[in-house]
């Protein structure tokens, strides 16, 4: 059995550790690239959302390297994502890949199937071993997400532009060569130290932007055309509303127990959206309000073309823009998105935010006299 899984930002690092600790053979799909997208677009329905196309590309690239089992997570379908596994199974079958699909949906009463699936994919029936590996995987996920947070802080402040991303790129390459929790932990630790040591330029003007929108597009750098790097190097410190680590804790650990970390966010979203409408629309709205209240300079929303929940959120965001006087930019991505137009919009948005900041500071100075 050789297990593979789709990419989603840093998630693959944790999944790799999880399976290596269990002694299961895995194939990490190659980094998402133009080729991944081309393969995915070729075999997917034309109007499906972008993440499915990338997933299909990942799967086929892994199958070419010998994978025979695919692990997908689900979330009981708050949007089209809920049907991904079925559709992907059909697509792969149609082009002649008879692949074992294992779906890990949160158990909705049917614990027997759920547990059997876990035993199947983990190749063991020892619950202690599974729980230990899962805990280690989760830990790595949190550590890697912490690296991202440090990078958000360092990117706009680095003296030599590009240093942060060179380091992270190096890290992504080395991740593929290390094995198991111990080695990974060490690599992450070393990278963290190097990141922290990057020289800062104290004179750089830094503005703060909240990144909101559909989870996959804001997490996977290839899909959002490296928005974090682009904005970071223009002098923007980011905060991302959704993270894989938070998502995992929420859906895997807390949700089955009826708990939630997102109570604040739901409360913030309430005046604009009272109920869950699917996807992460409510989180998008909630985080937008939260960032606005925390004094962020602007908001950037990203979502894949045809994403219904985010379209609803998009139509509400101008009201938040007005209510809190916070500028907002919406970017929609799909396989036809052009880099140049995208960069122009981001550049203009950052200009706008910087000018606003200058005006505000001038006004403060004047009123001080």
Select the residue interacting with another protein from 35, 149, 323, 361 (CB under 8 A): 35
CA 20 – CA 24 distance, rounded (Å): 6
The answer to whether 312 contacts another protein (rule: CB under 8 A) is no
- The reply to whether 179 sits near another protein by the rule CB under 8 A is no
- Which of 2, 25, 30, 172 touches another protein (CB under 8 A)? 30
Kindly state the greatest CA–CA separation across the chain.
76
| Least distance in angstroms from the C-beta of 347 to another protein | 4
Token couple for 348: 């203009």
Nearest approach, Cβ of residue 136 and another protein (Å): 30
Does residue 65 bind another protein (CB under 8 A)? Answer: no
| Nearer to another protein (CB atom), residue 93 or residue 344 | 344
Q: Which of 340, 364, 365, 368 binds another protein (CB under 8 A)?
A: 340
Instruction: Give the CA count within 13 Å in the CB-facing half-sphere of 50.
Output: 27
Q: Find the part of the chain contacting another protein (CB under 8 A) among 43-51, 247-255, 287-295, 350-358.
A: 350-358
Residue 359 CA to residue 3 CA, distance in Å, equals 55
Question: Of the two residues 242 and 317, which places its CB atom closer to another protein in the complex?
Answer: 317
Contacts of 194 (CB under 8 A, 6+ apart): 167
Using the rule CB under 8 A, is 294 a contact of another protein? no
CB atoms within 10 A of CB 307: 29
**Cβ contacts of residue 43 below 8 Å, gap of 6+?**
56, 60, 91, 95
Minimum CB separation from another protein for residue 91, in Å? 21
Contact region with another protein (CB under 8 A), list: 9-17, 28-36, 108-116, 240-248: 28-36
Where does the chain show beta strands of DSSP type E?
2-4, 25-26, 69-73, 100-104, 207-213, 236-240, 298-304, 328-333
Task: State yes or no: residue 41 binds another protein (CB under 8 A).
Answer: no
Residue (81 or 296) nearer to another protein, CB: 296
- Estimate to the nearest angstrom the gap between the alpha carbon of 120 and the chain centroid: 27
* Contact range with another protein by CB under 8 A, out of 42-50, 206-214, 250-258, 346-354: 346-354
Q: Find the shortest distance in angstroms from Cβ 74 to another protein.
A: 28
Task: Tell me how crowded residue 62 is: count the other CB atoms within 10 A of its CB.
Answer: 24
Q: Based on the shown chain and the rule CB under 8 A, indicate whether residue 355 belongs to the binding site for another protein.
A: yes
Strand-pairing partners, residue 69, are 3, 100
Give residues 151-170 in contact with another protein (rule: CB under 8 A). 162, 166, 169
Find the part of the chain contacting another protein (CB under 8 A) among 146-154, 182-190, 257-265, 344-352. 344-352
* Contact yes or no for 339/326 (Cβ under 8 A): no
DSSP at 181: H
Cα separation values, 154 from 130, 139, 141, 159, 238, Å = 36, 23, 20, 9, 10
Q: Does 86 bind another protein (CB under 8 A)?
A: no
Binding characters for another protein, 116-155, by CB under 8 A (x = yes): ----------------------------------------
**Interface with another protein (CB under 8 A), residue from 226, 235, 249, 324:** 226
CA distance 105 to 85: 10
Can residue 361 be called a binding residue for another protein (CB under 8 A)? no
Residues 6+ apart with CB under 8 A from 238: 152, 208, 209, 210, 211, 228, 231, 232
**Neighbouring-strand partners of residue 208:** 237
Q: Is 64 in the site for another protein (CB under 8 A)?
A: no
Pick the closer one to another protein by CB: 1 or 359.
359
**Minimal distance, residue 34 CB to another protein, in Å:** 6
CA–CA distance, 83 with 28 (Å, rounded to integer): 23
- Sites of contact with another protein (CB under 8 A): 30-31, 33-36, 162, 166, 169, 226, 318, 327, 332, 340-341, 344-345, 347-349, 351-352, 355-356, 359
């Amino acid at each position: 059995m050789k297990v593979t899984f789709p990419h989603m930002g840093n998630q693959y690092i944790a999944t790799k550790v999880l399976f290596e600790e269990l002694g299961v053979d895995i194939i990490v799909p190659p980094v998402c690239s133009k080729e991944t997208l081309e393969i995915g677009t070729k075999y997917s329905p034309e109007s499906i959302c972008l993440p499915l196309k990338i997933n299909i590309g990942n799967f086929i690239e892994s199958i070419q390297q010998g994978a025979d089992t695919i692990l997908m997570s689900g979330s009981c379908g708050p949007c089209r994502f809920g049907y991904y596994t079925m559709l992907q199974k059909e697509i792969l079958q149609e082009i002649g890949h008879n692949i074992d699909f294992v779906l890990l949906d949160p158990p909705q009463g049917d614990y027997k199937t759920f547990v059997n699936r876990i035993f199947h994919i983990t190749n063991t029936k020892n619950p202690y071993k599974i729980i230990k590996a899962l805990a280690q995987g989760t830990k790595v996920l949190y550590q890697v997400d912490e690296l991202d947070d440090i990078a958000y802080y360092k990117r706009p402040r680095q003296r030599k532009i590009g240093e942060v991303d060179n380091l992270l790129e190096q890290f992504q390459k080395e991740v593929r060569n290390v094995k198991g929790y111990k080695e990974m932990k060490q690599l992450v630790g070393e990278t963290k130290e190097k990141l922290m040591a990057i020289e800062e330029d104290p004179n750089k003007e830094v503005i703060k932007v909240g990144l909101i929108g559909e989870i996959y597009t804001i997490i996977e750098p290839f899909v959002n055309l490296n928005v974090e790097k682009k904005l970071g190097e223009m002098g923007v410190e980011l905060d991302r509303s959704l993270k894989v680590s938070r998502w995992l804790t929420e859906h895997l650990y807390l949700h089955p127990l009826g708990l939630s970390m997102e109570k604040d966010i739901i409360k913030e979203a309430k005046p604009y959206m009272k109920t869950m409408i699917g996807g992460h629309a409510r989180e998008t709205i909630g985080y937008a309000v939260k960032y606005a209240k925390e004094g962020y300079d602007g908001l950037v929303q990203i979502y894949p073309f045809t994403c219904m929940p985010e379209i609803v959120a998009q139509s509400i965001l101008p009201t938040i823009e007005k209510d809190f006087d916070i500028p907002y930019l919406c970017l929609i991505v799909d396989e036809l998105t052009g880099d140049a137009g995208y960069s122009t919009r981001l550049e203009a948005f950052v200009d706008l935010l910087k000018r606003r900041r200058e005006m505000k500071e001038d006004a403060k100075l004047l009123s001080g006299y």
